[in-house]
Amino acid sequence: MAGGKLSARQKMINLMYLVFISMIAMTTSKEILSAFSLFNTKFENANELAVASNTTLLKGLEKQASEKPKDFGVAYNNAQKVSSISNEFFTYLESQKSMILNKGNYAEKFKEEGGLPAEEMDKGDALDEFWFTGDRLTKEGQAFVDRINKYKADINEVLGDDVAYNPAKEILERRFSTAEVTNKDGKKQSWLDYNFQGFPAVASYTKLTAMQNDIKATEANLYNVFLGNTVDEATSLKNYTAIVIPD
């Protein structure tokens, strides 16, 4: 574009063109970052509503257990265990979100603005260095994956071997799968690498909030199963996966 035989005027036009393209790229990037912040807010709002809804379901189970202990006593006991396990995992993910803010030096701005400084959270270097080393996971990265698997294992232990819970177990596995993923080039990648490495900090933060939404949806599903109701996976906002991220 900037060949040696171009006139000074053409070189200036070409330079202006490059600046223009760069400005468009910057604008698009800011819009994408802001979109992540919008999705994060929607997930957080949904999580607040889910807490209230799940509390009502749990109280319903408590009432049934007091009136029909033979029919619902065990179910209520299991529901309490699910609640405790889920709350603990939800809190753990909140600590990881705080870690992203602290390591990326976004925490102070977050406190000042009362929300994510999305347009500034365009880098993911701090999280990459914390969770990855070369093509391997750091001990912190592996600990994160292990914590997800522990949540699944703890819930499955509560459900036991009753085949009636198999559909719920399948949903649980799909929501929190940490299996290897095949990327667009047909190569295998670890789940953590595929979903978090190289992404903007705001994207990683939002993914953790979405995972918290999965926890609340899992609770709702199980409480309804314990109550004998049939629920749909639509309780989770994770059914919406229309976020496009450019290379």
What local confidence, expressed as pLDDT, does residue 184 receive?
85
DSSP 8-state assignment for residue 233: G
**Bridge partners (DSSP) listed for residue 132:** 137
pTM for this one?
0.81
Query: Three-state SS for 236?
Result: coil
Choice between 241 and 45, residue whose per-residue pLDDT is larger? 45
Task: Pick the closest to residue 39 from 166, 155, 208, 180 (CA basis).
Answer: 208
What local confidence, expressed as pLDDT, does residue 31 receive?
79
Q: What's the mean pLDDT in 105-118?
A: 90
The residue ranges of DSSP E strands in 72-150, in sequence order, are 132-133, 136-137
CA distance 151 to 138: 20
H or E stretch covering 6 = none
H or E stretch covering 163 = none
Q: What's the mean pLDDT in 32-58?
A: 92
The model's confidence at residue 149, banded by pLDDT at 50, 70 and 90, is very high
What percentage of the chain exceeds 70 in pLDDT? 81
The model's confidence at residue 27, banded by pLDDT at 50, 70 and 90, is very low
